[in-house]
Amino acid sequence: MIQASSAAMTVGDRLRQSPSVHTGVASILGELRSRSAEIRDIRAATPGLREPYEAAIARAGELRGRGLYYPYIGSGMGNGALVELADGSVKWDMICGIGVHFFGHCDTDLIEAALFASIEDVVKHGNLQTNAAAFQFADALVTEASRESRLRHCFLSTGGALANENALKICYQKHAPASRVMVFKDCFMGRTNTMAQLGDGPAYRQGLPLNVSVDYVPFYDEIAAERMGQKRFIDMVVAHVASLIERYPRQHACFVFELLQGEGGFNTAPREFFVALMDVCKAGGIAIWDDEIQTFGRLDRMFAYETLDLGDYIDVLSLGKMSHACATLFTPEYNPKSGLLSGTFTGETVSFAVGTRVIERLRDSDAYGADGRHARHHRHFVEQVRALAARHPDWFPAPKSALLQTGAKDIVGGRGGMMRFTPFGGEKDRVLKACHACYDEGVIVFYCGHDPYHLRMLPPLGVMREEDWPRVFEVVERGLARIA
């Protein structure tokens, strides 16, 4: 960000340009490449490591107060889509920390950025005192976001739920005293006290005092839209929103849009569905908040609103996960008053440096477009699911919700790097058991959705090879067979 001449350099500049530092980093990366290359396929745990690993897993559960969902403690080593655990086993990582590690394990480019970032004078940045890395990350985000939207400002935070909290505060302040929030059914917003109340998950707010006024709006329903006709279905949802606005005039601060639902089941919707709802919001003076915590970077364009050509509508945007650092972006009209947004920490030097590099690589890669990397990988995924269902049709009965004529039409769905499929009729118990069976066989997946439940993947498409999909699904097939 600050371009210094050779005659006017800080001590920090001279450290970063030191030949000794560059030689040291090159040496570390060389050793990393060598060790990472040893990991080429899944494998079982090393016998001599089983007992200490099981003890470590038990201790981790004690420290957390409850057991881990998976008995997972990484060794700190991997190779692209393959990850080694501390017991010596290796698995296909198709969930990547629920979408964080988009460039997989031991990506030397990102680790190089992290190594150079790690030699700065502080680890954490704050709102009062910040080095250049934080502003470089914010600048990279705003530069890309502003190409097809009115988003011009960026406030950084240490987590996705905090980015959402800041987005909500911005909307509240702009539209004070409006205090109601509209969200889609089955949405997920995070696990702070406020975000747990916005999200449509009763288990996530059990025992919490409820002090946020939330109105839930139906998301796009493929089967219902086909049965009723798409225009009629959209008109029905628009009428529902209009009735809420009439019931609570000038009381809604914002409508939170997940343009592709994440935890709700990787549900998609056509552009005209969102346009109709956003037009109602604009007419009613309601902020349009685009939640891209999970979609950022994964679809046909860097931002989901670009994929659907909705940039002109967006007032506030939150993002995180694969960006490594989290942020709330907003238009000049929504720039809040001094004092509303702050906090001791904004994030770590390493997170900002790696996040900036992630944005650059997404921008400069072949990831996007109708035949981009993300689209090609999604087609491979769909082909594998179709082939699996053809071999084992009894594993893929129609989801129960489909029998009730609502929900998703297909056993496979999502878009780009957000992938899901629906075995065992979407029954929760069997899908959750399938997650664990697949893990035991050597592939890490997770679940999403609510009646039906799906197996989901957020694979490391930044580094994954297209020819690896059959190898991954060989393991998935073994896992599902254990449940079938």
CATH T-level fold of 124-364: Aspartate Aminotransferase; domain 2 (3.40.640)
Strands 316-319 and 287-292: parallel
Do 331 and 151 form a contact (C-beta atoms < 8 A)?
A: yes
- Angle CA 16–18–19, to nearest 5: 135
What single letter denotes the amino acid at residue 400? K
Domains 124-364 and 373-483 share a fold: no
CA distances from 245 to 174, 249, 285 (A): 17, 5, 10
Residues 6+ away with beta carbon under 8 Å from 221: 233, 406, 407
Residues 6+ away with beta carbon under 8 Å from 204: 188, 191, 196
Residues 6+ away with beta carbon under 8 Å from 298: 99, 102, 322, 374, 416, 417, 418, 458, 461
pLDDT value at residue 1: 59
Q: How many residues can be counted in the chain?
A: 484
Do 434 and 480 form a contact (C-beta atoms < 8 A)?
A: yes
Angle between helices 469-483 and 373-391 (to 10 degrees): 40
CATH of domain 373-483: 3.90.1150.10
CA distances from 267 to 228, 256, 264, 352 (A): 19, 15, 7, 30
Q: What ranges do the domains of the chain cover?
A: 1-37, 124-364, 373-483
pLDDT in tens, the chain (484 residues): 566 555 689 999 999 999 999 999 999 999 999 999 999 999 999 999 999 999 999 999 999 999 999 999 999 999 999 999 999 999 999 999 999 999 999 999 999 999 999 999 999 999 999 999 999 999 999 999 999 999 999 999 999 999 999 999 999 999 999 999 999 999 999 999 999 999 998 989 999 999 999 999 999 999 999 999 999 999 999 999 999 999 999 999 999 999 999 999 999 999 999 999 999 999 999 999 999 999 999 999 999 999 999 999 999 999 999 999 999 999 999 999 999 999 999 999 999 999 999 999 999 999 999 999 999 999 999 999 999 999 999 999 987 665 555 667 799 999 999 999 999 999 999 999 999 999 999 999 999 998 899 999 999 999 999 999 999 999 999 999 999 9
pLDDT value at residue 399: 78
Q: CB burial class (10 A; 0-12, 13-18, 19+) of residue 29?
A: middle
3-state helix, strand, coil in the chain (%, to 5): 45, 15, 35
Alpha carbon distance 461, 441 (integer Å): 22
Tell me if residue 128 falls in helix, strand or coil: coil
pLDDT value at residue 451: 85
DSSP label at residue 416: T
Confidence (pTM)? 0.95
